[in-house]
């Protein structure tokens, strides 16, 4: 029997004793567009119909039920209460009522989902309705002005509250619903502006979240103009598209044409805020599809293109690379596997309404990610709605899982570099005067000091938990792989309210990609709170990454180190470490100074070659910390439970206040000890220069010569008249050239090649070529924001 809305409200208001099931989304009146879309919104929260006996669904249902039931049992129902839970008191505090709404949403989702212990329970329904009234009366209502963190008032609380109203809509009294909608209308009148700072236009993920809130408010109130306001908000109709989610930006927040995503003006944030934008925009597109308010902006292709430009390169077997997660790396309940699964779910959600060609590729990619990640199965990371979508993809024999993505990606607009091979991937986290070295605040990312100083992440298909298994609370934060650091003691970051970033003064951070396969990157390190300065470069080839450092100097009387590796060996790992053919002790606490090491190998990780020898230091240690050590946030604080992990660390000790120190090492991810030893002897890649003028390598097998020029110079016949990155490959009768100015300081860069060129096969419009015995390329690098310019010659 179909209840009218008014009959359902009357029954709920009368406190009917019988078990009450939620109004099914499928029962929405066909001629009522609001009811139809609200039923769709409910299904987005519950997953609709599914087989509760299916093992995967049963596990997800149990997880939902366990958490919801625990929170339901612990609700304070005493007279005179000022909060719903003791740990979230008082409910007048924005962080407390914000989290309270989120807990209530979990309980309501379990109540509205078939197969839980709370499903349709009349007592649970009555408790939810009563709890909402309490939060409204003492916490979130139209009489209050914003205080504390704006996010709870304008996104956190209203998003959860609108979801609650969707789930409980046929049982809310008209008075209560009107009160909740009025409160949300006050704090989120539109998606365009920050309510507590009306001159600030919303951008990126925040705009997307607010658009969903406004849309749900419009549907719940039956206000067509409000729903249209939400739709128009993601396109920024108000400001003629200036902050549209469907346009490429060239500065500030949003998607960049090179695949970068930035939020908070200066932070590389693909893995969290970028994914939130993708999820919220995708949800709104799916919610309004086929209605009078459907999203028809042709610019939505920017969102479609972002899946493969922005997200796919930084997902490794479904794991989101930490270099793109900002301060979220410190969140115990949101590790790289979790954020990766969220991104995959958001991609599959978008696929439901995308053109077929896009959707087919995305589903194939997602199937590959899901099937390859066996360490933390996807089904254990997502809720029922996302699981239902994924199971359909995995079960479809017509969808063939895509292989791992390979290639070299320079995200010049966010100072990140990703190099991908069939069995492994490497990510470089760089920083400059344009992109922050770290973001911290609101108690998050307390030890993020060096995460943007060239930190090097190596992902291996055989160990997907290297950075997700208790890494951040236990790793030595002064010895992050790839970084050159001053060993001074640091104080915790981000202990005050609000978030803040640190942008160093250096201009150079980035590099060039050649043919999407090889790359070179560089960063000038100007350390925070120290006189430490260094010039760092990386050269990414088929099976190796060469790292060079020079001009390392400091004058503060402290030791300077460059960290080659600091590998998480997990709770009980003791893989063999071999140096120059000699197996080193496996005892915890072992350390050694290896004065002239030529190569090393760590079982299960790969090899390391040292072209210039030592002095290399090595250490095995067992470290204990807690997630609370790195995150004390109001709603993200880690537990104080001790976490212990083992590490193998290799580093160069440059001594106290070095004046002209340098280093050279080669990473061989996944290589065997035999291969590493052979590589060390044969030197298939030669270091041509490691000086303050130029850092360069050559590989004769590939016909490759790669250099970063810090100033005008010449190396092996390749010259440049100023700073820039140059890669040249000469093979099979052709010559490929890639050039970039990662410092963004030049207008043109003139490059001379060391061999003759007869003709130009293809060249970017920005590249002029003068063929001949010593060909000259004149590259218009000005205004290109550090992006690569290329040419094919014969």
Confirm if 308 and 343 have CB atoms less than 8 A apart: no
- CB neighbours of 706 closer than 8 A, spacing ≥ 6? 514, 518, 520, 539, 696, 697, 698, 726, 727, 728
Tell me whether residue 197 is one of the annotated catalytic residues: no
Report, in angstroms and rounded to the nearest whole number, the Rg of the chain calculated over CA atoms: 28
Tell me whether residue 708 is one of the annotated catalytic residues: no
Instruction: Report CA torsion sign: 187, 189, 193, 197.
Output: negative
d(Cα 485, Cα 715) in Å, to the nearest integer? 29
User: Which of 34, 101, 136, 206 is flagged as catalytic?
Assistant: 206
- CB neighbours of 377 closer than 8 A, spacing ≥ 6? none
- CB neighbours of 473 closer than 8 A, spacing ≥ 6? 332, 625, 626, 627, 629, 630, 638, 643
Cα→Cα distances 524→253, 641, 666, 693, 744, Å: 24, 39, 19, 12, 13
Confirm if 597 and 652 have CB atoms less than 8 A apart: no
Cα–chain center distance at 224: 35
d(Cα 307, Cα 352) in Å, to the nearest integer? 14
User: Which of 101, 140, 256, 264 is flagged as catalytic?
Assistant: 264
Tell me whether residue 570 is one of the annotated catalytic residues: no
CA angle 747, 750, 754 (to 5 degrees): 160
* Ramachandran bin of 482, using left for φ above 0, alpha for ψ from -120 to 50, beta for the remaining angles: left
Take residue 355 and report the two structure tokens written for it.
Answer: 């053109």
Whether residue 615 is preceded by a cis peptide bond, meaning omega within 30 degrees of 0, is yes
Q: What one-character-per-residue DSSP string does 664-681 give?
A: EEEEEET--HHHHHHHHH
Within 307-412, residue ranges assigned H as helices are 336-351, 356-372, 384-395
Q: What is the DSSP letter of 4?
A: P
CA angle 587, 588, 594 (to 5 degrees): 75
d(Cα 602, Cα 648) in Å, to the nearest integer? 8
Confirm if 740 and 779 have CB atoms less than 8 A apart: no
- The position carrying tokens 């609380």 is 157
d(Cα 323, Cα 315) in Å, to the nearest integer? 11
User: Which of 273, 450, 459, 647 is flagged as catalytic?
Assistant: 273
d(Cα 580, Cα 738) in Å, to the nearest integer? 36
d(Cα 229, Cα 236) in Å, to the nearest integer? 9
232: burial class by Cβ within 10 Å (0-12, 13-18, 19+)?
Answer: buried
d(Cα 69, Cα 117) in Å, to the nearest integer? 7
d(Cα 326, Cα 356) in Å, to the nearest integer? 33
- The position carrying tokens 């909608």 is 181
Which positions are annotated as active-site residues?
206, 264, 273
């Amino acid at each position: 029997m179909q209840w009218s809305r008014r009959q359902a409200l009357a029954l709920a208001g009368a406190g009917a004793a019988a078990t009450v099931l939620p109004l099914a989304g499928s029962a929405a009146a066909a001629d009522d567009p609001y009811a139809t879309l609200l039923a769709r919104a409910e299904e987005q929260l519950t997953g609709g119909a599914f087989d509760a006996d299916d093992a995967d669904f049963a596990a997800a249902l149990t997880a939902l039920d366990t958490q919801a039931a625990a929170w339901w049992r612990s609700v304070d129902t005493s007279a005179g209460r000022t909060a719903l839970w003791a740990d979230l008191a008082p409910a007048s505090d924005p962080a407390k009522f914000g989290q309270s709404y989120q807990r209530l949403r979990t309980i309501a989702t379990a109540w509205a989902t078939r197969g839980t212990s709370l499903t349709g329970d009349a007592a649970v329904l009555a408790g939810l309705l009563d709890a909402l009234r309490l939060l409204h009366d003492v916490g979130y209502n139209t009489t209050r002005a914003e205080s504390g963190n704006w996010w709870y008032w304008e996104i956190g609380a209203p998003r959860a509250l609108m979801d609650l109203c969707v789930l409980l809509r046929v049982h809310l009294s008209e008075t209560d619903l009107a009160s909740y909608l009025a409160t949300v209308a006050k704090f989120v009148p539109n998606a365009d502006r920050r309510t507590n700072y009306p001159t600030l236009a919303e951008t990126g993920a925040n705009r997307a979240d607010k658009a969903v809130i406004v849309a749900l408010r419009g549907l719940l109130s039956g206000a067509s103009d409000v729903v249209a306001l939400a739709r128009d908000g993601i396109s920024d109709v108000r400001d003629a598209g200036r902050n549209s989610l469907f346009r490429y930006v060239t500065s500030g927040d949003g998607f960049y044409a090179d695949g970068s995503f930035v939020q908070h003006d200066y932070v590389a944030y693909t893995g969290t805020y970028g994914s939130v934008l993708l999820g919220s925009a995708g949800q709104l597109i799916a919610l309004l599809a086929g209605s009078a308010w459907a999203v028809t902006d042709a610019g939505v292709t920017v969102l479609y293109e972002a899946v493969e430009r922005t997200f796919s390169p930084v997902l490794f077997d479904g794991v989101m690379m930490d270099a793109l997660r900002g301060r979220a790396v410190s969140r115990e309940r949101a590790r790289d596997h979790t954020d990766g699964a969220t991104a995959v779910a958001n991609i599959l959600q978008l696929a439901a309404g995308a053109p077929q060609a896009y959707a087919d590729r995305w589903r194939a990619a997602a199937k590959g990610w899901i099937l390859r990640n066996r360490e933390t199965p996807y089904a254990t990371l997502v809720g029922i709605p996302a699981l239902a979508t994924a199971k359909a993809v995995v079960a479809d024999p017509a969808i063939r899982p895509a292989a791992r993505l390979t290639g070299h990606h320079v995200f010049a607009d966010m100072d990140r570099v990703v190099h991908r091979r069939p069995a492994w991937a490497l990510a470089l986290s760089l920083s400059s005067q344009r992109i922050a070295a770290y973001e911290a605040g609101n108690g998050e990312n307390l030890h993020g000091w060096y995460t943007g100083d060239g930190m090097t992440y190596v992902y291996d298909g055989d160990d997907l938990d290297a950075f997700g298994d208790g890494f951040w609370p236990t790793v030595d934060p002064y010895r992050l792989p790839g970084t050159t650091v001053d060993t001074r003691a640091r104080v915790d970051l981000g202990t005050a309210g609000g978030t803040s970033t640190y942008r160093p003064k250096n201009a150079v951070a980035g590099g060039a990609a050649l043919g999407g396969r090889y790359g070179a990157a560089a960063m000038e390190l100007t350390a925070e709170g120290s006189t430490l300065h260094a010039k760092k470069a990386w050269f990414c080839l088929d099976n190796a990454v060469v790292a060079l450092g020079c001009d390392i100097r400091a004058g503060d009387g402290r030791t300077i180190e460059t960290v080659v590796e600091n590998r998480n060996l997990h709770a009980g790992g003791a893989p063999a470490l071999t140096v120059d053919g000699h197996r080193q002790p496996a005892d915890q606490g072992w350390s050694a100074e290896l004065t002239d090491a030529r190569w090393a190998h760590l079982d299960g990780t790969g090899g390391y070659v040292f072209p210039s020898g030592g002095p290399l230091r090595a250490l095995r240690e067992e470290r204990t910390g807690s997630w609370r050590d790195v995150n004390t946030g109001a709603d993200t604080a880690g537990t104080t439970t001790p976490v212990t992990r083992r590490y193998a660390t290799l580093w160069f000790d440059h001594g106290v206040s070095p004046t002209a120190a340098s280093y050279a090492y080669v990473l061989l991810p996944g290589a065997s000890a035999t291969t590493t030893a052979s590589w060390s002897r044969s030197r298939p890649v030669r270091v041509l220069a490691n000086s303050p003028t130029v850092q360069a390598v050559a590989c004769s097998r590939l016909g490759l010569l790669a250099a970063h020029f810090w100033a005008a110079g010449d190396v092996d016949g390749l010259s440049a008249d100023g700073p820039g990155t140059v890669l040249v490959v000469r093979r099979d009768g052709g010559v490929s050239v890639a050039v970039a100015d990662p410092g963004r300081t030049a207008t043109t860069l003139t490059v001379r090649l060391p061999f003759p060129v007869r003709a130009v096969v293809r060249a970017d419009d920005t590249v002029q070529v003068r063929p001949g015995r010593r060909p000259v390329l004149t590259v218009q690098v000005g205004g290109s924001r550090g992006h690569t310019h290329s040419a094919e010659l014969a």
